[in-house]
Amino acid sequence: MTEQTPRPPVPPFSHDMAIRKVRMAEDAWNSRDPARVALAYTPDTRWRNRSEFLSGRAEIEAFLTRKWSTENGYRLIKEIWCHGDDRIAVRFCYEWHDGNGQWFRSHGNENWEFDAPGYMAVRHASINDVPIAPEDRLFHWPEGTARPQDHPGLTELGL
């Protein structure tokens, strides 16, 4: 692999830097821009997302393009669970609706491993989808934008 420009914050992570890295990931995913999101990963990144196994940025970008073509109204909140020098564990929820208008809240956990320049080299995600009624939605901000700084996180929302 060729040397990459650092992507701060870089390992080893302090607690505050790990929280910042989590928020940066959340903001990127909320953009729903597969090319932008893919750039946060190493060129040879390895993923397990549910039952799919992916490798490399091109596969990640194709996966996200496919994902966001069916997950309408997507809004995501991530929260740090714990971290080590080059690893971060998060829990997350995102809300979305299918083509028939059925809303879901997807609950998950991710384990991340970073290379020295701060790119994610490994991502393991386990996710469960729960149907919800439209009136039970909790994530209300404009689609395709970052969650507002004053919007409650998962803990504050009781999730």
3-state secondary structure the chain: CCCCCCCCCCCCCCHHHHHHHHHHHHHHHHCCCHHHHHCCEEEEEEEEECCEEEECHHHHHHHHHHHHHHCEEEEEEEEEEEECCCEEEEEEEEEEECCCCCEEEEEEEEEEEECCCCCEEEEEEEEEEEEECHHHCCCCCCCCCCCCCCCCCCCCCCC
Q: pLDDT value at position 30?
A: 98
Asked if the structure places residue 149 within a domain, the reply is no
Asked if the structure places residue 5 within a domain, the reply is no
Q: What is the pTM of this model?
A: 0.96
Q: pLDDT value at position 4?
A: 82
Q: pLDDT value at position 1?
A: 45
Residue 49 sits in a domain of what CATH number?
3.10.450.50
Question: 44: domain range?
Answer: 15-136
Asked if the structure places residue 82 within a domain, the reply is yes
Asked if the structure places residue 58 within a domain, the reply is yes
pLDDT of the chain, 159 residues: tens digit per residue: 456 899 999 999 999 999 999 999 999 999 999 999 999 999 999 999 999 999 999 999 999 999 999 999 999 999 999 999 999 999 999 999 999 999 999 999 999 999 999 999 999 999 999 999 999 999 999 999 999 999 999 999 999
Asked if the structure places residue 8 within a domain, the reply is no
Asked if the structure places residue 86 within a domain, the reply is yes
What domain count does the chain have?
1
Asked if the structure places residue 155 within a domain, the reply is no
Asked if the structure places residue 158 within a domain, the reply is no
